Amino acid sequence: MPYVAVSALSHPGLLRDRNEDSLVIGPWTLCATVTENPQTLVFPLGTPLVVAVADGLGGHPGGDVASTLVVRRLASIGPALSSEGAVRDALNACNRAVYQAADADEGSELATMGTTVAGVVARPGSLLAFNVGDSRVFAASDDGLRQVSVDDSPPLAPGQRTTSIVTQCLGGSPGYRPVLPHVTASSLAPGDRYLICTDGLTDPLTEDVLDEVMREYDDGRAVFELWKSAIAAGGPDNITLAVVRVGEEAGDE
């Protein structure tokens, strides 16, 4: 029976006091915590399986609260994400939930809390990739790494490779702002691999480095080597990533 193997890791990096990233893999969540060894989970390819990262906005109180809220909500509704419309509806609901949680905070410390989100929903024969913000989804193949998410960032100046500014996210403003989630569908077959990550990985590392590691290593080792490379490059931000692979039958490596 076809299956989905997911290897993932989340770490605060070297410069941040805390980890405001969160992660969801099916019913399992890892929220605002630290792992230094990849965790690997295997699921039968049947009911829609959601795998996503959420990056709490740095410099805003409650980034960890927002990212945790979003991944836990996705974990609870993941099996119902069977279409592009369902994914868009879910992300819009997550956006409203972040604002509602912020409004409920009487001290207003969470008034501008927000988070990005990016991930995939794996289903038999097809995959839905989605994002709001600048966390990314890449398809990894023999032809190289291809970004399938769409960065919600302003245009880069000549010579500029990254920016910390996002043009939309879930929450993040004093008053409610709707979002326009990016959702794309593609076919899914055994051997397909995807990399999902926050900008703590893509800011310090170029796509060439990501591609090289994904070509050289499988699953958990690729996750570890990517994290190690980001740390070696200074680890300037929280680092959360997952490698998703479709296999032929459970237990096949």
Which comes out higher in pLDDT, residue 39 or 33? 39
Predicted TM-score (pTM) of the model is 0.94
Please state, for a pLDDT cut of 90, what percent of the chain lies above it: 80
Of residues 72 and 163, more confidently modeled = 72
Q: Return the beta strands (E) in 79-181 as ranges.
A: 114-115, 117-123, 126-132, 136-141, 144-147, 170-171
Tens digit of each residue's pLDDT (9 = 90 or more) over 204-242: 999 999 999 999 999 999 999 999 999 999 999 999 999
Condensed to tens digits (0 to 9), the pLDDT of residues 51-86 reads 999 999 976 679 999 999 999 999 999 999 999 999
Whether the pLDDT of residue 253 is over 60: the answer is no
- Of the candidates 55, 185, 210, 60, the one whose C-alpha atom is nearest the C-alpha of residue 133 is 55
Please report the pLDDT score of residue 228 as a whole number. 96
Q: In whole angstroms, how far apart are CA 78 and each of 71, 93, 100, 251?
A: 10, 13, 21, 23
Query: Is residue 39 predicted with pLDDT exceeding 70?
Result: yes
What CATH number is associated with residue 10? 3.60.40.10
In terms of residue numbers, what domain contains 235? 3-155+164-247
Q: Tell me, what's the pLDDT at 103?
A: 86
Token code pair at residue 138: 């890449």
Query: Which residue in this structure is represented by tokens 């990501």?
Result: 210
The answer to whether position 252 is within a domain reads: no
Residues in the chain, total: 253
Domain count, the chain: 1
What CA–CA distance (Å, rounded) separates 194 from 138? Answer: 6
| CA pair distance 119, 242, nearest whole angstrom | 9
pLDDT > 90? residue 194: yes
pLDDT for residue 165 = 86
Give the DSSP letter of residue 155.
P
In a domain, 210, yes or no: yes
Inform me whether the pLDDT recorded for 156 exceeds 80: no
Confidence of residue 250 (pLDDT cuts 50, 70, 90): very low
Question: How confident is the model over 12-21, as pLDDT tens digits?
Answer: 999 888 899 9
pLDDT tens profile 114-130: 999 999 999 999 999 99
Cα dihedral value 198, 203, 204, 208, nearest 10 = 90
User: Could you tell me if residue 253 is inside a domain?
Assistant: no
How much is the pLDDT for 251? 47
The verdict on residue 139 lying in a domain is: yes
The pLDDT assigned to 110 comes to 84
pLDDT band for position 107 (cuts 50, 70, 90): low
Chain position carrying tokens 């805003």 = 60
Sheet with 28-31: list strands edge to edge: 28-31, 21-25, 49-55, 117-123, 126-132, 182-187
Give whole-number Cα distances, 228 to 56, 161, 204, in Å.
Answer: 22, 21, 11
